[in-house]
Each structure stands twice: as C-alpha cells, then as structure tokens.
Structure 1
Amino acid sequence: MALEMIQTQTLNLKMSPALYQAISLLQYTNTELVDFIKEQAMENPLIHLEDSSYMSSKPLSSSWHNQPADKTRTDIIEETISDKGDYRESLYQQANVLSLDHSLKKALIYLIDSLSDHGYLEESLELLAEDLNIDISLLNEALAILQSFEPAGIGARSLQECLLLQLKSLPEKAPLAEQIVSEFIDVFITGDWSSLSKELGVTGHDIQKAVEMIQSLHPNPVDNFEQGLVQYIIPDVTIKKDESGYRCIMEDYFLPQLSVNFDDYRILRKDGDKETRRYLQKKYHEAQWLVQCLSKRKQTLLEVTEVVIERQRAFLEKGPKLLKTLTLGMVAEELGVHESTVSRAIKNKHIQTPHGLFPYKELFVRGVKTAEGSISTHDIKETIKRLIASENPAKPLSDQAITMRLKEKGIQISRRAVAKYRSECGILSSTKRKRKD
C-alpha cells in the first residue's frame, strides 16, 4: 500500500475564551458573580470596583453594647452558608435584614438572647419586660417577629405553641391539624381518636391524616441545626405589581459596581514600553468585554422575565394552581435566541413573585397534549392529588388505575409518568397508602 498525503477540509466549532466567559456569566448566580468579579479585578489592574453601599450591623448583645457596622449584605450571605455555630447567629442574621426601629430591634435581640438551648422562650414576657423596663406590648410585637423566623417553631413558649407555629408555616394550610393541636392536644395522651372524630364531625381517615402530619413535626425547633444552617436566598429577580401592571426588578444592588479605569490605561500606555502597551491593551479589551457581558447577562434575564410575566399572568394574579404550559423553547422563540441561552439564564436562579420565592425553573411547566389542547404537568399533578384524596383508603388507586382515570378525562400519559408525578407530589405508592380497618 502506497503512502500518500491528502489534504481535507473540515469544520470544527471552537469556543473562544471570551465566548466561554460570556456563557459562564449568564448562568452564574449573584453570589457566584460577586466572587468572579472580585477575582477579575485582582487580575486586571484596569478594573475598578466600588463595593455595594448596603451595610449591616452585628447584633446587639444582652448588655446593649453596639457592635461595628462594617459588614455588607454579601458578607451576611456568605456567613449564613458557612457558619455552623450557635443557632442564634442564624436568628441575628434574619433580624439584621429587617427595617425595624431601634427599640423594637433591641427587644427582638434580647428575646433571641433569652432563648433556651432548645429554641424555646422559657421566661415569661412579663418578667422580661420588667428587666428591660419596657412596655410588654413591645415584647409581644418582637416575639411575633421572632416566631416568623426559621426554623419554624422558634421562640415558642410551649410544645403546643411550637407545633402550631410549624403547622402555620406550611405552604398548604392544615386547619384540622391546627384545631387538634390547639384544642385537643390531650387526645395524644388518651388516644381516643374515635371520640375526637365524632366530636369534630370528620372521618377517621381525616383524623389519621392530621395526626400523621402532627407527628411529622419537630418538638425541638433547633433539632436539625447541627446539620447546617438554613440558607437564606436573595432572589435574582423580583416581580412587583404597581399602577401600570407587573414589572421586573433585578436584585443586583449588592453587587460591586464595575468600571474600566481609562485614565490609568491612557497614562500607563503612553509611558510604557512595547510589552507594557501590549499587556495594557489586552487587559483593556478584557475589561470592556466583561462590562459588556455583565450588561448582556442583565438584559437577557430581564427579557426572559418579561416573557414569563406575559405568559404566566394568571399565576401572578391567582397563584401556583394557575401555572400554564411554558417551555424554554417557547421563550427562546419569542426572544429570537437559542433555547440553551434561556436555560443558562435561569439556571440556579430564584425569582420573587407576589406568591412567594420560587426557583426560576418552576415557572417553566411542561405540557401534555389533550383533545382540548394542552394541559400543564402542574394541572396533571393536581388532578392526581384529587383522585388520591377521594380514593377508598382500604382499596387505594394503583398507578395503572390512575392512568385509566386520567385517560377518561382526556389526559393520556403512561403509567410510568403517573408514578413519577405522584412521587414528585410526595405521595406514597398504593401498597403503602393502604389502610386496614
């Protein structure tokens, strides 16, 4: 076989460092972006950073001595994630981000300092008010704020109040469970559930579900603290409603302000040698490119949010139950960008809505085609929940039976899909849901 040289032409897609940086910036969270910007500023002498003006103070101690107010909001977030100390530090941080008048803030911090190691407030408010020489109404107001903090149940004065606080913090209200804890807590000692069922006029199945929910609560609100503090999330975008309608706001106020120091570039480039000028020109272009990428990142996320506002208006008005089918492809088509761009823009980001804080991806809902059009997976899950809620506990519906019921409603999905949606709803399989009389 003879050897010969052959020249061929092929097309290869290579990603330049600048393009890679632009794509990476798009998918960074705000916390990751802060670290990246600071890293770039250390490597590039032409990048000038001005830290956010947001300041917070260290919590007041029980002796009421003020501590230095020298921490930014970013510092608070980083400490919240990394600190594994006393659970009170978590409460101090939650208190620091609130806008409270001085006297109320002092009362709140004093209550935090007065909590037991188990997170309970064991001293009476009357005695605490006497110690501080303040009106008890101020302490009551501070206690209400403390009891709204995480973990749920913190600041309770009894086990009964601790359980009630946890029930009230649940996304979906449980009025029967709240009534049992509030008015019939002694039944957990007697175990006379049949009498309770008759007195409340509800079925034994309803009582059992409520009791199981109560038993899943934590009698010690700081039990899980050693596993790590709750991570407090600052949204990347907030949707607010005003007189003109809904608008989106980028929550980037704590990001360092970046600018290119052109005066230094001009002076150093003029006085430097050839190698210095080449280096400065490279850094100048890198700094300009970074500014453009940051601006493009913000613009892309705002544009995506504008489409979400338009497509999910019913959700914004009425809540999660009215989430409509919305895919990455639908948004990408409307904006004239690639689907991967939308995917990167919302990756690991959170959005504050009138109905709470959500991972951005939860506002994107896949749809299933039906005879009448399309139905979102959220609606399918709600339908599955309703079917299971009305089933006979002694003969619960299997996934196949649910599949057939959905088919009768015009929703054709596989048994495997039903099992997946059921599991995502936190519902056990039929064998584990079965109740014996």
Structure 2
Amino acid sequence: MVARQASALAMTPELRRAIGLLKLSNSELAQELTREAASNPALAVRLPAQDTILHLWKPTSGANARPPRLQLGIGGGLAEALGVAGSPGLQEHILSELRLLLREPLDLAIGEALAQAVSPWGWLDRPIDEIAEEIRVPVPQVEAVLKRAQQIEPAGLLARDLRECLWLQAKDCGLLTPVMASVLNNLPLLAEGRLSDLARLGGTTEGEIGVQLALIRSFDPKPGLCFDPAPPPPSEPDIIVRREAGAWRVSLNRSTLPEVEINDDASQGSKERREAELLRRAVVRRNETLLHLASEIVQRQTGWLEEGPARLAPMSFASLAAALGLHETTVGRLAAGRMMATPRGTVTLRALCSASITTQDGGQISAVALRHRIAAMIEREGDAPLNDAQIVQELADVGIALARRTVAKYRGQLGIPNASIRSERAQSARA
C-alpha cells in the first residue's frame, strides 16, 4: 500500500502558480517554461530526453492490428467510461505466454516479476538490476529469462528501450541484416535525418538507408497498446503506477517532465532571479501536488488495481479535497486531463471518481462497480434474459436496494438493450 501523503496544502503564491501550471500537460509545461526562459536570462529549462524518433510512425492498422474483444455490457460502457484496457490485458497476455514458455518455478517467478514491470506500451520501465535485487536473483539469471521471454508475440514486448523493441521486431521478421543492425544502433542519427552518416557507418548507400527506414516505419514502437481496445491517450501519462515488492508505487513520468534551473550568473536579489526562483518553486509545488493527488487516489483504489472495476471504490472530488486540504474545484482542475498509466491500462484521474450508493446494510458501493455488477449478471444470464425487475430483486437479495428505473438507466449507460430485445437476438442466433 502506498503511504498516505495527504498533508494540508496552504494556498501560497507558489501553489496558485502551481495550480495554473497543472492545467498544462508535461509537453505544454515544457513549452510554457521555454517561453518564460526566452525573456528571463536568470531562468534555464532542462527539457526531458525523449525518443524523438517516435514521430516517424503512424498508428498500427491492417492485418497486424488487434481488433477489440467485445463483451456484452462490458466492452462498450464500462471500459470506455474508465478508459482502461479490455480483456485480455497486456500483463495477463504476457503471463499466460510465459507459463507456456517457462517450466522451472524460479524462472516463472522471474518472468512474473518482469511482467509486473511492463509499461502500458509494452516496454520494461525498470532496470534489470533493480528487478533482480528486489526478487533476490542474480542479474545474469534475470537477463537469461528476459531473453527467452522476449520470444513471445507480438515481437517487441519486454524490450528495455526503443532500439531493442525495434531490434526484436526486425529479428522476428527476418530483416535483421547488418545494415538494419547498423541503423538501429544509431537511431539518434536517423531521428536527425543524417542518412549520409548512416550510409557511411553501414557501408551502404543513402538509397538503401531509405529502404531500411521504410521497413522500420512498418514496425510498432509500442506493441503493448494493441491490447487496449480504446484509442491511445492523446499524450504520454503524467503518472505511473506499478507494483513493487507487494506495494503500489506512484511516481511522476520523468521522461516527459521538464526541470527549471537558475543560472549561476544571475544577480542575487534581481527581479529576474526572484521571478525565476518563484517559477521553480511553483513547478516543484505543481509536481508535488499532482503526486499527492495521485497517491491519495491510488490509496483509495487499490481494490480496482488488484481486482478490476467491480472493486472501484466510491470517490468524489469533495472527499479528495478534504484529504488534501484544497478546495473541491481546485481538485477538479488538478484532475482534469491528467493521465495515469497502471497495470490495468491508462486511465484519467477524473474517471476513477464515482458516485457512492448506499446499500441496505449501510455500506457503500460505487456507481461504476454497480454497473459492472449489473453487466456481469446479464452476461451470465444464458438463454433466459433477465428483465429489470429481476435484476432489482437479485440486487436486493445481496443488500443493494435500487429502483427499477435506476437499473434501466445503468443498463442504458452500458449499451445493453432490454430483456425482450436480448431474447429476440438470442432466438435469432439459435435459428
């Protein structure tokens, strides 16, 4: 469990500035800080080192694209509402493949640790030596299991970086020629368009380098995303949540996060330096506030992380605001558009907030979990579709009192037709 980090946050000038900055994505923050630095000589901005080559790809389509797996009542409404990966998920796929590939118990334990360290796009997001230390296994043994695990489909899963992801795909397709290997070993040159330098290093022509580039563009730099039926998020996630040593770790996505520095040459006490220092503190406060919010959410939603939407806990902006010592509208602005990568897919912070419904025994259940329960009841109804009154009764039997119109509303939100239409469809399918 993550440690609760809900200390009260005073509304200082830094925090007000931080909240204004928090409306921006990390890439927008980098642009804003760069503009500020252009007019303030005391301010320096260190931009994150990103894989600039990723702009070369288009979304995967065609025969290699994985079609969404539709499930009655779950595939449309609930998964779309939460913005998370459908079933089978990426980790479940990797684990099922590893159970077929690895026979020794220790090797399988290592494989499970590797699967838990996979980001939503399919790469490992933790160093091998860190994983080895956590499970107390020598690094060479973990590397040996990783080499075997990288044989699973689709090629490119469990890669440690972009180069290895593309290397695995080229090898899988029989395209790992010496020229292709030379190009992949010098991706920064490819990103900069230095084809002549690549040709010289590979002992070939620029025309041949162009052929290799066309092949590379046919690869998928993020093969893990094919396990999510929802469109990829418009930007990289701000927060990363992963399981480590039996606990949930919440961290900022440093790969897209710019940093603010003060130029040493700036005069002490000058207006420019004061403004630069204020901005630096605001950026730090922005990041701390976002991390506090995400940690509080993860603290409350461990049931969802571990067991899925049926365990999504009731949660509101008001309750989060009380825990963080902020105004409710401020928390709403903090959560707006923020993305969080989890083992269950990439989800917005806002989507994990769900209204609370009181059960007959005084307990609480979230509206999302209730919709999931209704969908599951309908999914297993068989040849005798349940009408709304029967669903009301089944819920009442487990202590959840709902009006019939409320069940109809939730069923409609899930995109599930009424019992008579479902019965007609079932009869047509049998005919």
After TM superposition, the score normalised by the length of structure 1 is 0.53
Partner of 2:308: 319
- Residue type at the aligned position of 2:162: L
Alignment of 1:228-247 (within 5 A): 231=233, 233-243=235-245, 245-247=247-249
Q: Is the 8 A contact 2:250 2:291 kept in 1?
A: yes
Partner of 1:149: 223
Greater Cα radius of gyration, structure 1 or 2: 1
Partner of 2:164: 100
Higher RCO (CA < 8 A, seq sep 6+): 2
- Residue type at the aligned position of 1:248: V
Q: Is the 8 A contact 2:29 2:258 kept in 1?
A: no
After superposition, the C-alpha distances for 1:209-243 in whole angstroms (9 at most, x for unaligned) are: xxxxxxxxxxxxxxxxxxxx955642211122223
Question: The residue matched to 2:44 in structure 1 has which SS?
Answer: strand
17, 40, 47: which one aligns with 1:44: 40
Structure 1: gaps spanning 5 or more residues: 1-14, 58-75, 113-141, 153-168, 173-228, 270-279
Q: Is the 8 A contact 1:297 1:345 kept in 2?
A: no
- Cα distance in 2 between the residues matched to 1:407 and 1:323: 20
Question: The residue matched to 1:263 in structure 2 has which SS?
Answer: coil
- Residue type at the aligned position of 2:375: K
Q: 1:378 to 1:291 in 2, by over 3 A?
A: same
Partner of 1:257: 259
CA drift of 1:428 comes to 2.8
- Cα distance in 2 between the residues matched to 1:263 and 1:315: 50
Q: 1:237 to 1:388 in 2, by over 3 A?
A: same
Residues 1:287 and 2:276 aligned together: yes
Structure 2: gaps spanning 5 or more residues: 1-10, 66-120, 123-155, 177-215
Partner of 1:383: 373
Q: Is the 8 A contact 1:239 1:351 kept in 2?
A: yes
Residues 1:364 and 2:353 aligned together: yes
316, 330, 335: which one aligns with 2:324: 335
Q: 1:230 to 1:309 in 2, by over 3 A?
A: closer
- Cα distance in 2 between the residues matched to 1:87 and 1:368: 44
Q: Is the 8 A contact 1:396 1:433 kept in 2?
A: no
- Cα distance in 1 between the residues matched to 2:264 and 2:323: 38
Q: 1:408 to 1:25 in 2, by over 3 A?
A: same
Q: Is the 8 A contact 2:340 2:349 kept in 1?
A: yes
CA drift of 1:380 comes to 1.1
- Residue type at the aligned position of 1:27: K
After TM superposition, the score normalised by the length of structure 2 is 0.53
CA drift of 1:288 comes to 2.1
Residues 1:303 and 2:299 aligned together: no
- Cα distance in 1 between the residues matched to 2:374 and 2:391: 7
Partner of 1:190: none
CA drift of 1:388 comes to 2.6
After superposition, the C-alpha distances for 1:256-293 in whole angstroms (9 at most, x for unaligned) are: 32112252345xx9xxxxxxxxxx61x43332222122
- Cα distance in 2 between the residues matched to 1:415 and 1:44: 63
Q: Is the 8 A contact 2:294 2:349 kept in 1?
A: no
After superposition, the C-alpha distances for 1:183-218 in whole angstroms (9 at most, x for unaligned) are: xxxxxxxxxxxxxxxxxxxxxxxxxxxxxxxxxxxx
In the alignment of these two chains, the number of paired residues is 282
CA drift of 1:332 comes to 1.9
Residues 1:425 and 2:425 aligned together: no
Alignment of 1:4-403 (within 5 A): 21-57=17-53, 76=54, 98=162, 100=164, 103-104=167-168, 106-107=170-171, 149=223, 152=226, 169=227, 231=233, 233-243=235-245, 245-266=247-268, 281=271, 283-372=272-361, 373-391=363-381, 397-398=387-388, 402-403=391-392
- Residue type at the aligned position of 1:361: R
Q: 1:234 to 1:364 in 2, by over 3 A?
A: same
CA drift of 1:348 comes to 0.8
Q: Is the 8 A contact 2:15 2:285 kept in 1?
A: no
Q: 1:328 to 1:50 in 2, by over 3 A?
A: same
- Cα distance in 1 between the residues matched to 2:383 and 2:62: 41
- Cα distance in 1 between the residues matched to 2:324 and 2:278: 23
- Cα distance in 2 between the residues matched to 1:148 and 1:260: 36
Q: Is the 8 A contact 2:252 2:291 kept in 1?
A: yes
- Cα distance in 2 between the residues matched to 1:391 and 1:42: 64
Q: 1:233 to 1:84 in 2, by over 3 A?
A: closer
After superposition, the C-alpha distances for 1:389-433 in whole angstroms (9 at most, x for unaligned) are: 3557676524x6645654554434455543442233232344643
- Matched-pair identity in %: 26
- Cα distance in 1 between the residues matched to 2:34 and 2:224: 31
- Cα distance in 2 between the residues matched to 1:369 and 1:109: 55
Q: Is the 8 A contact 2:237 2:346 kept in 1?
A: yes
Q: Is the 8 A contact 1:312 1:324 kept in 2?
A: yes
- Residue type at the aligned position of 2:378: I
- Cα distance in 2 between the residues matched to 1:363 and 1:110: 43
CA drift of 1:346 comes to 1.9
